[in-house]
Amino acid sequence: MKKIIFIISIFLTFFGISNANEVNIFSARHYDSDVQLYEKFTAKTGIKVNVVSGKDKALQKRIIEEGKDSIADLYITADAGRLGAFQAKGMFQRSSSKALKAAIPSNFRSPYWFGIAKRARVIYYDPSRTNPPSNLSYEDLSNPKYKGKVVIRKSNNVYNQSLVASLIANNGKKKTAEWAKGVVSNMARKPKGNDRAQILAVAAGEADYAVANTYYIALMLSGKKGPEQQAAAKKVKPFFPNQDGRGTHMNISGGGVLKHAPNKDNAIKLLEFLLTKEAQQHIVNNTFEYPMIDGVEPNKLIAQFGLGFKQDLKTKVSKYGKNQAAALKIMTEAGWE
């Protein structure tokens, strides 16, 4: 009997057919800690987790091309805009559960995908040189008084596209286009590098303000990126914009059950597990993101900068994907490289 089961298992694996007691994740998140988390899920449920890692475009291309033959159950990535764009291609199926609805605030999920961690995109400054006004907003970065003082990534960066998409949702295309032109005029240099490069620029005195996600400062402070970046990170502080208005721009890491998922139920079980207190603590202490659920504290490296800041809970992150094409167009036309 064991021999027959083994042969069937080989047959299913060879022909790409999924076993009932497993779940197949296609993940664009590149964290070893995620794999450790999936191992905890397997230990609790007995459901085997198979992970295919890669970049978003490559993973999405494979899922689309394989169609009904795809073994992928769950697609996980960073940024709601990416999830929304993939949803627009019809690659997710509607799915939910009482546990997911209870755990995730409505603005951080859609009928097709769910946030598993939150990320804030903020403004960095060097307190030894700069004293930002308490009411500083993203909109203020276009003010001529900040000419030559701003650094930010290129327009093709998805985090920037989602930020601009949120501005479109709140201020409209016309005002956002004017804002983008102002930001380009205020840039201290041409956009280059990743988020950490923007923080390093402020630490080096090349600019007064940098736009970057919060977990990067924690990553640098942790020492994982070397002593030079750790020293630079100690020079700067994050500022949480728009505290007098809608609150700081929030984005997510998240996942959705794919259209042809052979193990939909297991995929939902895994998503539910990722929203448990145990899993959320694991995530925030390894990736330095903010927890999606109440009752879990962020890692101390990011919590030290304040826990009571006002988050933008008004803007649904599902609008990021809907507005990203318009956001990129606005930035390109503004001369944002």
pLDDT in tens, 225-234: 999 999 999 9
pLDDT of residue 96: 87
C-alpha count within 13 angstroms, C-beta hemisphere, residue 68: 0
| CATH number, span 119-249+312-333 | 3.40.190.10
- Average confidence (pLDDT) over 194-218: 98
pLDDT of residue 30: 86
pLDDT of residue 19: 60
- Residue 3: pLDDT band by 50, 70, 90 thresholds? very low
pLDDT of residue 307: 86
- Sign of the four-CA dihedral 144, 145, 146, 147: positive
pLDDT of residue 14: 37
- Residue 15: pLDDT band by 50, 70, 90 thresholds? very low
Tell me how far apart the alpha carbons of residues 230 and 220 are, in angstroms, rounded to a whole number.
5
Query: Both tokens of residue 126?
Result: 């060097």
Tell me how far apart the alpha carbons of residues 323 and 169 are, in angstroms, rounded to a whole number.
8
Tell me how far apart the alpha carbons of residues 86 and 79 are, in angstroms, rounded to a whole number.
11
Q: Does 47 score more than 60 pLDDT?
A: yes
Q: Does 7 score more than 50 pLDDT?
A: no
Tell me how far apart the alpha carbons of residues 308 and 222 are, in angstroms, rounded to a whole number.
22
- Average confidence (pLDDT) over 308-322: 96
pLDDT of residue 269: 98
pLDDT of residue 12: 41
- Residue 13: pLDDT band by 50, 70, 90 thresholds? very low
CB 281 within 8 A of CB 293: no
User: What residue spans define the domains of the chain?
Assistant: 2-117+252-300, 119-249+312-333
- Average confidence (pLDDT) over 106-131: 97
CATH topology of domain 2-117+252-300: D-Maltodextrin-Binding Protein; domain 2 (3.40.190)
pLDDT in tens, 20-29: 799 999 999 9
Q: What integer best gives the mean pLDDT of the chain?
A: 94
How much of the chain exceeds pLDDT 70, in percent? Answer: 94
C-alpha count within 13 angstroms, C-beta hemisphere, residue 213: 23
Q: Does 4 score more than 90 pLDDT?
A: no
The pTM is what? 0.92
